[in-house]
Amino acid sequence: MQAIILFGVLASTYLMVIAKRTPALIRYFRYQSFFLFLATFAVAIEERQIDLYIIAGLLFVIKVCAIPYFLNRIIKRMKVSEDLGLFVNAQLSLLCVLGFTYLSWVFAERILAPRNEAQAIMLAVAFFVVLAGMFLMVFRMTALAQIIGLLVMENGLFLLASTVSGGMPFFVEIAIFFDVFVSVIIMGFFVYRINKLFTHIDVNKLSRLKG
């Protein structure tokens, strides 16, 4: 079961890296969050903890439903081009990300001293998701892609936290969820502003401030 979920997380991350249009990226982000939800839910059933049920519920409501809905609404309302603006084409991106997969495996196995094989794989996947999120932030040009990249990094951290220490303390987890949600809303607000003032959301062209 766990293997299937991890495979799902990996596959949806690869799909995100080769996506060329923003709605596709958001859809794959939704898949990834859904797999995270499944992972948390599975642990919750196993351990019978009310905290974990609440966290899984929040994950579903915020990351699977609310945030993708909100991002889709921004796209509809702004009527900007749906093209992501790839610095690096899809094939090369995929190659880079495969390299990241190997690196995170090496990092997880050699440095973090995992207890067993299963934990090593989970650590590697978590680090890989963080790296892939960073890749998206750096090599995609629109402001929306940067927001999604940030969310992907955050997903990776969630996976990491649940792997290494059985999750953060409950109220910290809740605070982080709230924080992520608020930051997405605030960033969305700034994307509106950028679109209004500059009539585009290509962050590569934001270059008034220099030196």
Please say which residue, 46 or 89, places its beta carbon nearer to another protein. 46
- Does residue 118 touch another protein according to CB under 8 A? no
- Does residue 13 touch another protein according to CB under 8 A? no
Q: Mark residue 116 as left, alpha or beta (left: phi above 0; alpha: psi -120 to 50; beta: remaining).
A: beta
For residues 170-199, which are near another protein according to CB under 8 A? 172, 175-176, 179, 182-183, 186-187, 190, 193-194, 197-198
Q: What is the DSSP letter of 48?
A: T
Neighbours of 25 (CB within 10 A): 26
Are 162 and 39 a contacting pair, CB within 8 Å?
Answer: yes
| SS3 call for 82 | coil
The C-alpha angle 70, 72, 74, rounded to 5 degrees, equals 70
| Binder among 12, 104, 142, 154 for another protein (CB under 8 A) | 154
What residues line the site for another protein (CB under 8 A)? 111-113, 130, 134, 137, 143, 146, 150, 153-154, 157, 160-161, 164-166, 168-169, 172, 175-176, 179, 182-183, 186-187, 190, 193-194, 197-198, 203, 206, 208-209, 211
